[in-house]
């Protein structure tokens, strides 16, 4: 009996020692991490006329650039109207770049860099938006295509997805060009017209065109996630999330044969019940979640910004996931 007690006591001491060592390692790890954030206030930048930029985006929202998979010409006039507005609003950008129209309404701009040996990059955004579900127009606080600037926000369909991104790119490039800036590497600006309905006429044809010319991009920056506030406990600063997952899709057709019957004498297993069970099984088979690569780098960057206690919880999770992958 004494031997058993002695063994249990030794195991308990080992466990306590392991916990103390782990806490010490995590504490030192947390203290050694320093912030990776740049000093935005100290960064040189020209003043941005936010009122004028907001009005330009609001005007863009008023063009009902709703894409249609079956009928690419359904709202072609709206697309061409917005494109004419873009050309009039950003003259320096259009003077410094070369424009090609791809797939009838897709836009591919090239801003030639000073170093022909430097690998080019591409900035992407899409011109189209999704339609408004019939009967839901009254649920909008502001009519979806009015393009209203109010209470510090730009209201309307596409203000975020994705005309906000499109016009932010144009605003930045226009200002840089006016300041005399020229990029070292060539920058392509690819603005598709049918991203919301698969991108077959826009992004796919633009990619094929670049590939046919042997153009290999160093990286592509496309529509991303939100700048969030309060999404993670322990951080009281806004967080710009990074999304790098390549998302695909699959279409499945499910068929089953069941014994026919009447609702007065329903079978033990109905066709609807069996089909529902099959759909539930499909939904349960999700891809496993992993933290690695750029996502792990994002957590490493967030770690120093988290208050001490939560940080000790987040860091080992990221470290463990990184070791597992």
Q: Which residues are catalytic?
A: 128, 195
The secondary structure element, H or E, covering residue 111 is strand 106-111
CA distance 275 to 286: 19
Q: Which residue has the tokens 């999304």?
A: 243
Residues 6+ positions from 146 with CB-CB distance below 8 Å: 61, 62, 155, 156
User: Which is it for strands 121-126 and 187-192: parallel, antiparallel or unpaired?
Assistant: parallel
CB 314: neighbour CB atoms within 10 A? 19
Strands across the sheet containing 220-221: 98-102, 106-111, 187-192, 121-126, 220-221
Written as six digits, the tokens of 184 are 């070292």
User: What burial letters (b/e) apply to 93-116, b meaning 16+ CB within 10 Å?
Assistant: bbebbeeeebbebbbbbbbebeee
What is the largest distance, in Å, between two alpha-carbon atoms of the chain? 90
Output 172-179 pairs: Cβ under 8 A, ≥24 positions apart.
173/90, 173/93, 173/97, 173/111, 174/90, 174/92, 174/93, 175/46, 175/48, 177/92, 177/93, 177/95, 177/96, 178/92, 179/46
Cβ-contact 141, 208 below 8 angstroms: no
Terminal CA-CA length for the chain: 45
Written as six digits, the tokens of 208 are 């094929």
Total residues belonging to the chain: 325
Written as six digits, the tokens of 131 are 């339609």
């Amino acid at each position: 009996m004494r031997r058993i007690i002695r063994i249990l006591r030794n195991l308990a001491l080992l466990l306590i020692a392991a916990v103390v060592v782990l806490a010490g390692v995590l504490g030192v790890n947390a203290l050694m991490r320093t912030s990776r954030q740049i000093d935005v206030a100290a960064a040189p930048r020209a003043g941005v006329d936010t009122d004028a930029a907001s009005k330009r985006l609001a005007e863009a929202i008023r063009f009902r650039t709703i894409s249609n998979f079956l009928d690419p010409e359904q709202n072609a006039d709206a697309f061409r109207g917005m494109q004419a507005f873009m050309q009039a609003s950003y003259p320096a950008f259009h003077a410094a770049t070369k424009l090609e129209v791809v797939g009838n309404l897709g836009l591919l701009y090239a801003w030639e860099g000073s170093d022909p040996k430097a690998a080019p990059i591409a900035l992407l955004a899409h011109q189209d938006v999704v339609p408004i579900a019939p009967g839901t127009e009254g649920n909008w606080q502001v009519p979806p295509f009015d393009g209203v600037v109010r209470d510090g926000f730009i209201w309307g369909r596409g203000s975020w997805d994705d005309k906000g991104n499109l016009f932010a790119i144009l605003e930045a490039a226009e200002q840089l060009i006016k300041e005399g800036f020229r990029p070292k590497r060539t920058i392509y600006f690819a603005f598709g017209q049918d991203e919301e309905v698969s991108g077959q006429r826009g992004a796919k044809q633009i990619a094929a065109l670049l590939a046919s010319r042997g153009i290999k991009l160093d990286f592509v920056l496309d529509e991303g996630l939100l700048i969030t506030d309060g999404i993670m406990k322990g951080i009281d600063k806004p967080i710009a999330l990074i999304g790098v997952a390549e998302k695909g899709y699959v279409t499945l057709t499910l068929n089953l044969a069941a014994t026919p019957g009447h609702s007065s004498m329903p079978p033990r297993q109905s066709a609807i019940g069996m089909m529902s069970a099959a759909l539930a099984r499909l939904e349960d088979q999700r891809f496993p979640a992993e933290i690695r690569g750029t996502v792990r780098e994002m957590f490493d960057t967030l770690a120093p910004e988290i208050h001490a206690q939560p940080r000790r919880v987040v860091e080992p999770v990221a470290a463990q996931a990184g070791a597992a992958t």
